[in-house]
Amino acid sequence: MVEHKFKLKKAALAALFMFGFIPFVFTSCEIFNKKVLLKFQIPYAVNSSTFKRVSTVIDKFNRENKKTKIELIPAQSRRELYNHITLGIEAKNKDLPNLVIHYPSLAYYAASQNKALDFSSALTLSSLSSDFLKQYNRFNSDKITNLPLAISSEALVINKPLLGYFLLELEKYATKNGISLNLERVPIFKLAKDYFTNLKTSTKVEDLELWKLKFNFNKTLILDNKNLFEDLDLNSYENLFRFTSVIHASTEKGNVDYLYSQSVVNTTYSIMFNDANQDYNHYFLKYNSSQTLDIRNILENPDRQNELKKIYFLYKTMFEDKELNIAFGNENTSEINSKFFSLVSNRIYDTIKRRLPNLDDFLFLNAPIKNANSKENGSYFLQGLNLIGIKKSTKENQALLDFVKWMYNKDNFSKYTINNKQYFLTPVEYLNLSLGYYYPSDNFDSIIENSQENVTLKNIKNLFDSQNVKFLEPVDFESERFRRGLLLSIQTLKRGIDLGNPIDFETFINTIKRGI
């Protein structure tokens, strides 16, 4: 009997022991299998196309990865996100996101506080060259804390019907007045003339009603610019500005813009970088020993002031002559229908395609790369989206590097669908192609070469293949303030001239200071 009780007790204890450890075993497995949670915050609303495309990539990673889960978090604006990160770093907030999309200025700020994650070890399998990455991290070139995610550049958009109509009327005048003028020598002229000629009559009537143009050609002006009409090359600002001026001088009235700049600061920086012979050491934006923008030097140094004075008088003249219009922040895409030439981001291609019915009305070229046509080489402006990692725990940092490695691995191909077409792309290539950005990889180049979609991406590829200098605005966390001040000053100059009360150069400089 005692032996029987002992056996029962032993069995009960064994059962208790066994069942008591089952929860522990399960709990241990849960801890072992629990994913590292990373927070990825981007300055886009949930219903935006950018958020949706990034979400596609994140969802794919989360499905494939057993160790890490990424949570995508929207921010209402870049400024809100910038303030959230910078204030959080100052306050040592432990709840900051691991990864953000922002401008390089945020990367430089995070690096200055020793909070920017170095991506170098995650990029050994990427297609990005070390020289290219160094350009993106020129103030901290031994580390990669500012990682290019998607690349855009400036484009020159030509309104084919508008230009074609002008050229046909010019030809009529030249023939009537015995002027020998061979416009066929310039390919874009022939293209524009043929395009307007072949438009439906009803479309021509609508266009002419929109433009309300009346020309007043001048024989002397045409003869003086005969070489421009027969050998025009729009690779230089000199030729673009000169041709714009000739069109304006030949127009008695019209409801049109001759030249429009969507980002006049980008246009300004491009011109001034070329004035510095594409050399950052001679560029007007100067930095101090702590690698932050030396605003005082820029605004008070006589040499810098002389450089800004050139810009002031250039714009003052073009504004007074009504040859240049600029963005004030409330422009409608459809307004491009009444602009001869527009300097805009290459991403306007997708915007026009989505919002307007007449994509074929426009010819997309690269923005001018030189100031003067006589110059052999020039530069091209690069912007876009950047990834910035915020240092957290060792485990989170490594998980983030693993994600970046997965995203940028040049051999990590998958099938993606874009506009009902299927492509084999890496995750970072998918983001670029689906959002109208450029990514420098052999696979991406091959796809855009064989595609009829988005000619602006081919244009950027041609720039990358050229000997021209890549110009990345050298931004630190002070640069956005200077950008705002410069934009405010140029806009104030334009408004003053429109109201008959232009500001002088001293006020121009003081307005920059006020806007900073």
The H-assigned helical ranges of 380-478 are: 394-408, 427-435, 442-449, 455-465
pLDDT at 292: 79
pLDDT tens, position by position, 482-501? 999 999 999 999 999 999 99
Question: Any idea which fold 34-152+384-440 has?
Answer: D-Maltodextrin-Binding Protein; domain 2 (3.40.190)
pLDDT at 28: 33
Q: What percentage of residues in the chain have a pLDDT greater than 70?
A: 92
pLDDT-based confidence at 474, cuts 50/70/90?
low
pLDDT at 141: 67
pLDDT at 329: 80
How far, in Å, CA of 243 to CA of 174, rounded?
A: 17
Per the prediction, the chain carries an average pLDDT of 91
How far, in Å, CA of 361 to CA of 324, rounded?
A: 21
How far, in Å, CA of 256 to CA of 159, rounded?
A: 11
pLDDT-based confidence at 477, cuts 50/70/90?
low
Please list the residues that pair with 264 across neighbouring strands.
none
How far, in Å, CA of 173 to CA of 228, rounded?
A: 17
Taking residues 423-439, report their average pLDDT: 97
How far, in Å, CA of 286 to CA of 296, rounded?
A: 9
- Residue ranges per domain, the chain? 34-152+384-440
pLDDT at 406: 99
pLDDT at 14: 42
The pair of three-digit structure tokens given for residue 334, joined into one six-digit string: 């459809």
pLDDT-based confidence at 142, cuts 50/70/90?
confident
pLDDT tens, position by position, 232-284? 999 999 999 999 999 999 999 999 999 999 999 999 999 999 999 999 999 99
How far, in Å, CA of 325 to CA of 491, rounded?
A: 10
Q: Is the pLDDT higher at 438 or at 112?
A: 438
Q: Is the model's pLDDT at 2 over the cut of 90?
A: no
pLDDT tens, position by position, 374-383? 998 899 999 9
Nearest Cα residue to 152 out of 464, 479, 442, 363: 464
Phi, psi (degrees; rounded to nearest 5) at 200: -60, 150
Q: Is the pLDDT higher at 355 or at 58?
A: 58
pLDDT tens, position by position, 38-87? 999 999 999 999 999 999 999 999 999 999 999 999 999 988 999 999 99
